Amino acid sequence: MKSNFRAPMLMFASFAIGAVVVQGLHAQGGKLKAYAVAENEILDASAQANYLPLARKLIEEAHGRALRTAAGRVVQIEGGAPPKSAAITEWDSLDDAVAFYKSKAWTDLAPQRGKAVKVVRRYVVEVEK
């Protein structure tokens, strides 16, 4: 009498492959994107013109994506007065954003930033999927 192990082996193989795929999907989706928002007052437009390319280069090197909102209009919808200027940067995770803003490269850019803009407030917001 022949034993038929084919069906149980196929079921086991399917289960194992499914487990590996699910693990891979969990690993991919582990981190939530984050956005850094800086509310600024422009102090010197020419200094800002020199500062922005340097800041954007550092952000790109750290895998951030500057959304180029520095010269965009800010319109109040609710609450207090809006900032005069807002800069938004997309990051792969909140940890990546915080690490960048605490980095030596970003700290070293502080003198140029101080001439160009007054940062009223900067914060990072994590985005749910």
- Judge whether 51 lies within some domain: yes
In a domain, residue 88? The reply is: yes
Q: What is the pLDDT of residue 10?
A: 47
Q: Tell me what pLDDT residue 129 has.
A: 80
pLDDT along the chain (129 residues), means of 10: 55 55 55 95 94 96 93 91 94 97 97 96 93
Domain that holds residue 101: 34-126
pTM of the full predicted structure? 0.73
Please check whether residue 66 lies inside any domain of the structure: yes
- For residue 40, count other CB atoms closer than 10 A to its CB: 21
* CATH number where 51 lies: 3.30.70.100
User: Considering the domain boundaries, does residue 24 fall inside one?
Assistant: no
The pLDDT score that the predictor gives to residue 119 is 94
- Distance from C-alpha of 108 to C-alpha of 36, rounded to nearest angstrom: 19
Q: Is residue 60 part of a domain?
A: yes
Number of domains comprising the chain? 1
pLDDT at residue 17, as a whole number = 63
Please write down the HEC assignment for all residues of the chain.
CCCCCHHHHHHHHHHHHHHHHHHHHHHHCCCCCEEEEEEEEECCHHHHHHHHHHHHHHHHHCCCEECCCCCCCCCCCCCCCCCCEEEEEEECCHHHHHHHHCCHHHHHCHHHHHHHEEEEEEEEEECCC
